[in-house]
């Protein structure tokens, strides 16, 4: 099929006729964020090295409209410096790094970054060092506090980095740690965290024992702040990437402002006003309807396929490697689709396509003609164009 923009909501499942039980609607809905919400963490004990402020951001992922507004807001707040917890770009290409640096040069203070999993795709690990001038992990000292940047882009630390970290932690004085993938996912049941649970527990113990005041991470696209054994863990993944949660659960675009004053550390999420149309898909079926944002789609079980899509004229286009969600998975949320029923896809550009049960659940004898039917959100290790989604039948 093809890319889609905004449309009005389609009819409910009960008014679709005898056969049209399942309907998939690709839509866009405006998301207006206000500055009315600010989340705070309690102060932490620290040593009276001095008074200063710094900002922490994460997961801009090349979403320019949001990142530009965050740069403006950070400049207005005038912190001493900025920490970026990774996923600066979408898929680690030179062009993406160049675009990110053009925008980030508007910051009026120094900034420090660590690599995220999106940053190191392809040749991205080398480009990270080239464009930021930083090693994959490093430390610096500011006003008597040691800042330790880690490379957790692989959701783990290798033996060499662990040994280096233990030497850094052995240095006297209070410390802050920043990295991309968090030790634990702040969402109940979430799995965006270290793959090695024992290593995560070991790091928690080390941070507790070596005067680490706070640990900052991204990767989970929301804001969260919690204290564990005297150490505050902050997730700040709201600098542009599709949000993983509703606003009341921390899903808002933001940067995080950290105020250090003598023996107190204050953590405050600063929402940023952004009006942006986030891709959404509405699925309607016999058991009701459910809408997914792009961020929610990314959290569903994904599938990768080397495939293509067919446009309204029957032409096959867009060969490449796609990542997305099985359409069958989406339909399961509203009662699924049964043999003899029809799937209708209505798109914002006026395109409409009917498909059969066998297009959704491909039988064995169809496998030479059609790949799995997916709703794709990534192509060739990079995002689809802004404000778009793609459904592919995977014609061979």
137 vs 310: CA distance, rounded Å:
45
What's the confidence (pLDDT) of residue 2?
33
- Among 197, 175, 199, 174, smallest CA distance to 185 is for 197
What's the confidence (pLDDT) of residue 34?
28
Is residue 87 predicted with pLDDT exceeding 90? yes
**Residues 220-233 pLDDT 10s:** 999 999 999 999 99
- Among 89, 54, 88, 60, smallest CA distance to 74 is for 54
Which residues, in sequence order, are bridge partners of residue 236?
223
What's the confidence (pLDDT) of residue 381?
67
376 vs 322: CA distance, rounded Å:
6
What's the confidence (pLDDT) of residue 347?
79
The band of 383, judged by pLDDT with boundaries at 50, 70 and 90, is low
* Residue 277 DSSP one-character state: E
The band of 393, judged by pLDDT with boundaries at 50, 70 and 90, is very low
**Residues 51-65 pLDDT 10s:** 899 999 999 999 899
Alpha-carbon distances, residue 258 vs 216, 254, 268 (angstroms): 11, 13, 6
Mean pLDDT comparison of 3-12, 243-252, 336-345, highest-scoring range? 243-252
Distance of CA 383 to the CA centre of its chain: 12
201 vs 183: CA distance, rounded Å:
8
Structural domains present in the chain:
13-28+279-392 (3.90.420.10), 34-273 (3.60.21.10)
273 vs 70: CA distance, rounded Å:
9
* Of residues 262 and 207, more confidently modeled: 207
What's the confidence (pLDDT) of residue 16?
30
238 vs 305: CA distance, rounded Å:
29
Which residues, in sequence order, are bridge partners of residue 267?
41, 258
The band of 29, judged by pLDDT with boundaries at 50, 70 and 90, is very low
What is the three-class DSSP state of 291?
A: strand
Is residue 207 predicted with pLDDT exceeding 60? yes
Is residue 27 predicted with pLDDT exceeding 50? no
The band of 50, judged by pLDDT with boundaries at 50, 70 and 90, is low
What's the confidence (pLDDT) of residue 3?
34
What mean pLDDT do residues 62-83 have?
96
What mean pLDDT do residues 314-334 have?
84
195: which 2 tokens?
């793959």
394 vs 376: CA distance, rounded Å:
11
What's the confidence (pLDDT) of residue 86?
97
Is residue 155 predicted with pLDDT exceeding 90? yes
- Contact criterion met (CB below 8 Å) for 243 and 299: no
DSSP string spanning 52-90?
EEEEEE---TT-HHHHHHHHHHHHHH--S-EEE-S--SS
Alpha-carbon distances, residue 162 vs 87, 157, 158, 312 (angstroms): 22, 6, 6, 54
What mean pLDDT do residues 283-302 have?
86
Segment among 18-27, 131-140, 229-238 with least mean pLDDT: 18-27
Is residue 179 predicted with pLDDT exceeding 80? yes
- Contact criterion met (CB below 8 Å) for 194 and 151: no
What mean pLDDT do residues 25-30 have?
38
Is residue 145 predicted with pLDDT exceeding 60? yes
Is residue 124 predicted with pLDDT exceeding 80? yes
- Among 344, 340, 272, smallest CA distance to 75 is for 272
What's the confidence (pLDDT) of residue 262?
72
Which pTM was predicted?
A: 0.79
Which residue's structure tokens are 């070991």? 202
Q: Report the percent of the chain where pLDDT is more than 70.
A: 81
360 vs 371: CA distance, rounded Å:
10
* Residue 95 DSSP one-character state: H
What's the confidence (pLDDT) of residue 205?
97
**Within 10 A of 1 (CB to CB), how many other CB atoms are there?**
21
Is residue 353 predicted with pLDDT exceeding 90? no
- Contact criterion met (CB below 8 Å) for 359 and 272: no
**Within 10 A of 160 (CB to CB), how many other CB atoms are there?**
9
Segment among 57-61, 159-163, 282-286, 367-371 with least mean pLDDT: 367-371
Q: What are phi and psi of 291, to 5 degrees?
A: -110, 135
Which residue's structure tokens are 């059969």? 356
DSSP string spanning 254-268?
EEEEEEEETTEEEEE
What is the three-class DSSP state of 344?
A: strand
* Of residues 50 and 180, more confidently modeled: 180
192 vs 26: CA distance, rounded Å:
26
* Residue 247 DSSP one-character state: G
What's the confidence (pLDDT) of residue 210?
96
The mean pLDDT of the chain is 83
What mean pLDDT do residues 79-88 have?
98
What mean pLDDT do residues 149-170 have?
98
């Amino acid at each position: 099929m093809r890319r889609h923009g905004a449309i009005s909501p389609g009819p409910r499942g009960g008014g679709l006729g005898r056969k049209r039980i399942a309907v998939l609607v690709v839509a866009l809905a405006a998301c207006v964020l206000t500055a009315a919400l600010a989340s705070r963490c309690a102060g932490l004990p620290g040593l009276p090295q001095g008074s200063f402020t710094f900002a922490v951001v994460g997961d801009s992922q090349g979403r320019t409209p949001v990142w530009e507004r965050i740069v403006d807001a950070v400049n207005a707040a005038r912190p001493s410096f900025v920490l970026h917890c990774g996923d600066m770009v979408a898929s680690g290409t030179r062009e993406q790094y160049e675009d990110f640096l053009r925008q980030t040069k508007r910051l009026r203070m120094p900034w420090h970054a660590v690599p995220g999993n999106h940053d190191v795709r392809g040749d991205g690990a080398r480009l990270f060092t080239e464009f930021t001038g930083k090693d994959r992990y490093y430390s610096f000292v500011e006003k008597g506090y040691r800042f330790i940047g880690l490379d957790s882009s692989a959701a783990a630390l290798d033996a060499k980095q662990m040994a280096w970290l233990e030497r850094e932690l052995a240095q006297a004085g209070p410390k802050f740690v920043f990295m991309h993938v968090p030790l634990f996912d702040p969402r109940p049941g979430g799995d965006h965290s270290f793959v090695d649970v024992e290593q995560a527990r070991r790091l928690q113990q080390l941070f507790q024992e070596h005067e680490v005041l706070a640990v900052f991470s991204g990767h989970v696209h929301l804001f969260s702040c919690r204290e564990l054994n005297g150490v505050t863990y902050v997730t700040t993944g709201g600098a542009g990437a599709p949000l993983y949660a509703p606003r009341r659960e921390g899903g808002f675009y933001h940067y995080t402002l950290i105020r250090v004053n003598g023996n107190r550390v204050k953590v405050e999420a600063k929402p940023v006003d952004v009006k942006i149309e986030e891709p959404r898909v509405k699925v309607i079926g016999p058991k009701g309807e459910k809408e997914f944002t792009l961020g929610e789609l990314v959290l569903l079980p994904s599938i990768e396929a080397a495939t293509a899509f067919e446009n309204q004229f029957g032409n096959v286009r867009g060969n490449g490697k796609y990542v997305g969600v099985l359409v069958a998975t989406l339909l399961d949320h509203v009662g699924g689709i049964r043999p003899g029923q029809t799937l209708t896809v209505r798109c914002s550009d006026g395109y409409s396509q009917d498909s059969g049960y066998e297009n959704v659940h491909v039988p064995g004898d169809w496998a030479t003609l059609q790949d799995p039917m997916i709703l794709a959100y990534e192509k060739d290790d990079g995002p689809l164009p802004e404000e778009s989604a793609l459904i592919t039948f995977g014609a061979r």
